[in-house]
C-alpha cells in the first residue's frame, strides 16, 4: 500500500476528524497571521544598478532627500487662487515625514504641480499605501472647487486590487463543473477544496510578510495560480473517484484509490510548479523572491487540501457525486462501464488521437506553424515596468499623470536626478556639465544645482521631452550615461530606476529560463525514467510560452483588443510580466504533461504498445485535461478584468498559454511527436536496446 493510498484511506474513513483538523489549522493560521503577520509593501530597491547607487548616495549625504516622493496636482478651468495654493503647500509642509514641497505653476495658471519629498522610503510603514495625509492637506483646494489628483511614487502604492477576478473565476468554474459532472455536489467539491487551501495559503502569505517585504501584487498572483491549480488538482482526484464509484467501489475505497493514483500526478505536477517558482529567486530583485515564496505557499496549501480534504469530502458525499440518473443504476453498470471496441463508441479524444497518428508529420508541422506564428510578435516585445500612464482611467494616479503631461509636458512625470560626487568631479566640471545637459535636444528643462550639507554631492534634476514610458526616453538615458556623464556622476530617480529594472529583468530572464528548464527536465527524467520525454516536454512548453508572449505583445503593445480589457492606449509589456509568466506557465504546463504522460506511461508498461498507449492515454485523460484547462482559462480571464495592468497582462498571458497548451500542444503536438518517436519515447541511457526497456511501474 502506497503512502498516498494510506493518506486517502485514513481521511476517507475519518472525514469529520479531517474536517475538524483543517478547521483548527485554518483558525490557528488566521490567528497567527493576525498576531505576528506583517503588512504588504513593495520593495523597489534594485541592487547592483547605477540608479540604486545614486539613491544610496542621496540617502547617505542628503538625509532628507533619499526618501519617497509624491505629486499633488491642483487644477481648475480658471486661474488658480495663489492663496489657496499656498495654504495647501503649508498643509503639506506640516505633514509628518515631509521635508520639502516644491510648487510649480503652469503657464496659463490653471494648474499647480506640488512636488512632495519625504525623509523615509516608500516602504516605510508610516507612509506606505497611506494617501490620507495628502488628501487632508489638499482639502482647502477641494473646498475651493479645484480638481485634486495624486500621482507619483507614494500614491502608486495605494492602488488596490478589486478582487472581482476570484469571484468571476469561481463562478465560471462552478458552471463548467456542473456541466461536466451533472452534479452540483461534485461541482462544488473541487471549488470548496481549492478555497479552503487558499484560505490557509493567504494566512501563510501574511506570516511571510512578517519576515520579509511581500509585494502588494504577490497575494493576487498567488491566489490566481493557487485557485487554478487547486481546482485542477481536486478535479483530477474527484474524476478518478467517480470512475471508481461507477466501477462498484465503496466511497471509502474509491477515495483511497483515487488518492493513490491521481494523487501521484498531483504530487508530480505540484513539484514541477514549485521548482519553477523557485527560479524566481534568480531574477535578482527582492520583489521576485516574495512572488515565488507567496505563490509556492499557496500551491503547497492547495496540494495538501487536494490530498486530504478531497478524499474526506468524497467519502461524505458518497454517490451524490454522480448524476442523479446514474445513482439509480447498479454499481458497474453506469456511464463508466466497459465500452465495446467499436470506433463509434470510442471517446472523441481517442478518435482524434488516431487521426493525428495517421499523419503525424503533417499535424506536427501545423501545430508548430500556429505556435511559431503566434510567438513571432514577441521578437518585437518592448518592456517597461509601469507608471501612472498605464493605470486605468478613472484612477487618481492616471488623472494626475494626464494633467501633468498636458500642462507641464510628458517628461515632468519622470524627472531624472543627476548626482555628482565632488570628490571625483570638480565644481567647474559640474557647472560645465550642467550647461551641456541643459542644451541637449532631449532635455525639456534643467533645475538648479544643489550641494549636500556635507559638501560631498552636487545634485540637480532634468526633465526629458518625452514620457518615462516612451522608448525615446530609454534611448536618451542610455546615451546620457554612455556618452555624456563622466565617472563620478550617476543618473537616478523614478525613470532611471524603472529603466534599470527593465534592463536587469531582461538579462535575468535567460538565467531563470535555464534554471527552470534544467531542473524540470531532471525531475521529469526521474519521474518517467526517460530522457526523450522530458526534453520534448520542455521544448513544447517553451513553444507555448513563446506563443503566449506573442499574444500579450499583440494585445497590449499593438492594441489588438486591449480596449475590451479597459486599456485605452497601446503600452509596452510590463517588465515584471515575462519572468513571472515563464515561471508560472512552465510549472502549469508541466501539470498537464504529467497528467497525460502518467496515463500513457502506465498503458505502455501494461501493454508494451508504444503507439496504442498514446491513443489510449489521450483518450483516458483528454476530457479531464480539457475541463481542467477550461477552468484555469476562466480563472485567468477573470483576473484579466482587474484594473492593475500587471495582473491584467498576467491574466491574458496565462489564459492564452493554457488554452494553447491544452489544445495545440496536448491534442496535436504531443500525440504527433510521440507517434513518430514510438518506443524511443521511453529510452534511457544504460538500458541497452529500446526493446529491453525496464517495465517497472513508475512511482511519483
Give per-residue pLDDT as tens, 606-661.
887 877 888 888 887 777 888 888 888 888 888 888 778 888 899 999 999 999 98
Separation CA 298–CA 222 (nearest Å): 6
In the three-class reduction of DSSP (H, G, I as helix; E, B as strand; rest coil), residue 451 is classed as: strand
Q: CA–CA separation, 180 vs 176, rounded Å? A: 6
Helix (H, G, I), strand (E, B) or coil at 533: helix
Count of all residues that appear for the chain in the document: 700
Residues 6+ away with beta carbon under 8 Å from 652: 551, 552, 555, 556, 565, 636, 637, 640
pLDDT in the model for residue 694: 43
DSSP conformation class of 465: S
SS3 436: helix
Position 362 scores a pLDDT of 93
Say how far apart CA 522 and CA 257 lie, in whole Å: 28
Count the Cβ atoms, other than its own, within 10 Å of residue 485. Answer: 19
Dmax over Cα atoms in the chain, in whole Å?
96
Helix (H, G, I), strand (E, B) or coil at 95: coil
What is the phi/psi pair of residue 73, to 5°?
A: -110, 125
Res 693: pLDDT? 44
Q: Which residue has the cell 439509480?
A: 328
Residue 14: other Cβ atoms inside 10 A:
15
**Paired strand residues for 75:** 111, 147
Cell numbers describing residue 487: 565617472
- C-alpha separations of 662 from 212, 528, 591, 673 in Å: 37, 20, 11, 15
3-state secondary structure of 306: helix
Residue 457: beta bridge partners?
A: 421
Alpha carbons 624 and 630: distance in angstroms, whole number? 10
Q: Is the pTM of this model over 0.75?
A: yes
Please list the alpha-helical segments (H only) found in 182-217.
184-209
How open is the CA angle 122-486-448, to the nearest 5 degrees?
60
Query: What's residue 567's pLDDT?
Result: 84
Name the stretches of the chain with pLDDT < 50.
Answer: 330, 332-344, 688-700
Gap between the terminal Cα atoms of the chain: 14
Amino acid at each position: 500500500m502506497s503512502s498516498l493510498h494510506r493518506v486517502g484511506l485514513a481521511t476517507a474513513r475519518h472525514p469529520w476528524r479531517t474536517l475538524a483538523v483543517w478547521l483548527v489549522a485554518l483558525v490557528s493560521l488566521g490567528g497567527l497571521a493576525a498576531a505576528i503577520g506583517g503588512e504588504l509593501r513593495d520593495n523597489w530597491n534594485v541592487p547592483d544598478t547605477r540608479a540604486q547607487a545614486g539613491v544610496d548616495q542621496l540617502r547617505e549625504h542628503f538625509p532628507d532627500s533619499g526618501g519617497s516622493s509624491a505629486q499633488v496636482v491642483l487644477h481648475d478651468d480658471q486661474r488658480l487662487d495663489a492663496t489657496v495654493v499656498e495654504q495647501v503647500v503649508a498643509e503639506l509642509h506640516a505633514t509628518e515625514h515631509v521635508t520639502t514641497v516644491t510648487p510649480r505653476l503652469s503657464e496659463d495658471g490653471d494648474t499647480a504641480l506640488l512636488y512632495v519629498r519625504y525623509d523615509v522610503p516608500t516602504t516605510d510603514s508610516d507612509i506606505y499605501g497611506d494617501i490620507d495625509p495628502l488628501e487632508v492637506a489638499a482639502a482647502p483646494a477641494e473646498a475651493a472647487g479645484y480638481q485634486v489628483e495624486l500621482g507619483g511614487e507614494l500614491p502608486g502604492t495605494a492602488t488596490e486590487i478589486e478582487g472581482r477576478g476570484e469571484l468571476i473565476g469561481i463562478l465560471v468554474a462552478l458552471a463548467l463543473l456542473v456541466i461536466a459532472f451533472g452534479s452540483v455536489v461534485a461541482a462544488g467539491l473541487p471549488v470548496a477544496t481549492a478555497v479552503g487551501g487558499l484560505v490557509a495559503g493567504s494566512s501563510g502569505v501574511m506570516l511571510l510578510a512578517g519576515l520579509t517585504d511581500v509585494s502588494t501584487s504577490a497575494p493576487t498572483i498567488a491566489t490566481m495560480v493557487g485557485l487554478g491549480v487547486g481546482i485542477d488538482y481536486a478535479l483530477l482526484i474527484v474524476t478518478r473517484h467517480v470512475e471508481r464509484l461507477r466501477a462498484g467501489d465503496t466511497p471509502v475505497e474509491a477515495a483511497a484509490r483515487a488518492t493513490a493514483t491521481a494523487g501521484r500526478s498531483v504530487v508530480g505536477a505540484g513539484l514541477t510548479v514549485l521548482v519553477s517558482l523557485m527560479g524566481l529567486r534568480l531574477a535578482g530583485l527582492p520583489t521576485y523572491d516574495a512572488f515565488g515564496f507567496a505563490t509556492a505557499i499557496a500551491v503547497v496549501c492547495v496540494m495538501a487540501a487536494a490530498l486530504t480534504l478531497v478524499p474526506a469530502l468524497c467519502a461524505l458525499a458518497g454517490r451524490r457525486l454522480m448524476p442523479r440518473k446514474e445513482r439509480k443504476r447498479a454499481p458497474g453498470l453506469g456511464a463508466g462501464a466497459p465500452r465495446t471496441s467499436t470506433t463509434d463508441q470510442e471517446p472523441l479524444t481517442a478518435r482524434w488521437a488516431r487521426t493525428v497518428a495517421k499523419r503525424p508529420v503533417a499535424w506536427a508541422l501545423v501545430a508548430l506553424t500556429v505556435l511559431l506564428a503566434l510567438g513571432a510578435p514577441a521578437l518585437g516585445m518592448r518592456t517597461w515596468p509601469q507608471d501612472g500612464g498605464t493605470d486605468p482611467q478613472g484612477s487618481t494616479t492616471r488623472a494626475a499623470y494626464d494633467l501633468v503631461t498636458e500642462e507641464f509636458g510628458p517628461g515632468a512625470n519622470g524627472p531624472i536626478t543627476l548626482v555628482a560626487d565632488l570628490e571625483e568631479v570638480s565644481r567647474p566640471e559640474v557647472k560645465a556639465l550642467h550647461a551641456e545637459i541643459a542644451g541637449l535636444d532631449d532635455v525639456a528643462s534643467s533645475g538648479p544645482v544643489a550641494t549636500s550639507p556635507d559638501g560631498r554631492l552636487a545634485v540637480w534634476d532634468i526633465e526629458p521631452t518625452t514620457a518615462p514610458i516612451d522608448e525615446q526616453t530609454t534611448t536618451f538615458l542610455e546615451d546620457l550615461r554612455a556618452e555624456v556623464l563622466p565617472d563620478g556622476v550617476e543618473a537616478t530617480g523614478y525613470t532611471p530606476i524603472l529603466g534599470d529594472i527593465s534592463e536587469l529583468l531582461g538579462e535575468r530572464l535567460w538565467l531563470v529560463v535555464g534554471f527552470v528548464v534544467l531542473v524540470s527536465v531532471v525531475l521529469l527524467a526521474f519521474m518517467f525514467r526517460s530522457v526523450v520525454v522530458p526534453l520534448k516536454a520542455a521544448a513544447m512548453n517553451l513553444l507555448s510560452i513563446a506563443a503566449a508572449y506573442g499574444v500579450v505583445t499583440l494585445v497590449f503593445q499593438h492594441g489588438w483588443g486591449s480596449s475590451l480589457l479597459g486599456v485605452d492606449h497601446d503600452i509596452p509589456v510590463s517588465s515584471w510580466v515575462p519572468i513571472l509568466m515563464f515561471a508560472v506557465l512552465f510549472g502549469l504546463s508541466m501539470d498537464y504533461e504529467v497528467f497525460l504522460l502518467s496515463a500513457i506511461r502506465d498503458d505502455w508498461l501494461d501493454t508494451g504498445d508504444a503507439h496504442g498507449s498514446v491513443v489510449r492515454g489521450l483518450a483516458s485523460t483528454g476530457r479531464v485535461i480539457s475541463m481542467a484547462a477550461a477552468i484555469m482559462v476562466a480563472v485567468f480571464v477573470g483576473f484579466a478584468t482587474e484594473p492593475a495592468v500587471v495582473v491584467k497582462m498576467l491574466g491574458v498571458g496565462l489564459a492564452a498559454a493554457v488554452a494553447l497548451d491544452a489544445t495545440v500542444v496536448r491534442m496535436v503536438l504531443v500525440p504527433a511527436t510521440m507517434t513518430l518517436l514510438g518506443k524511443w519515447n521511453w529510452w534511457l541511457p544504460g538500458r541497452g536496446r529500446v526493446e529491453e526497456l525496464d517495465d517497472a511501474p513508475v512511482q511519483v
